[in-house]
Amino acid sequence: MSEIEAGSGQEQLKNTTKIAYILYLVSLVFGVTSIIGVVIAYINKGEAKGYLESHYQFLIRTFWIGFLYIFIGTLTAILIIGWFILLFTAIWLVVRCIKGLKALDANQPIDNPTSWMF
């Protein structure tokens, strides 16, 4: 495989990564698009090389940690605290996706892809 083909493959993975981040953000309105985003991340994580590896790890962790936060927020929504947890989760998701998109555009890895916060 030539350098051009290898480069275009990584560029395609970069574009796919960007789509996954966007699907996560759209899930704030439509909900289910994050499932499509995490499926994309799981399918492509084996092909990712270099800085893209950290983005796929970050995307997968963002989905599962977000799922946990939403689950806890939904369970406690009957109490006032649950609504605050759900609000925090929405803000948390936006910050993580913007952080990921910013690093992706700069061709940089995520600093700490295993972080629970930002």
d(CA 70, CA 73): 5
pLDDT of residue 7: 59
Percentage of residues in the chain having pLDDT higher than 70: 92
42 contact partners, CB below 8 Å, separation of at least 6: 60
pLDDT of residue 113: 83
d(CA 35, CA 56): 14
In a 13 Å sphere around the CA of 1, the CA atoms on its Cβ side amount to 7
> In the 8-state DSSP scheme, what is residue 107?
T
Distances in whole angstroms, Cα of residue 71 to Cα of each of 74, 82, 105: 5, 10, 31
d(CA 80, CA 46): 42
| 50-101 pLDDT per residue, tens | 899 999 999 999 999 999 999 999 999 999 999 999 999 999 999 999 999 9
Write down the pTM of the prediction.
Answer: 0.87
d(CA 6, CA 45): 16
Average pLDDT of the residues in 17-44: 94
Residue 71 C-alpha from the chain's centroid: 18
Q: Does 5 have pLDDT greater than 50?
A: no
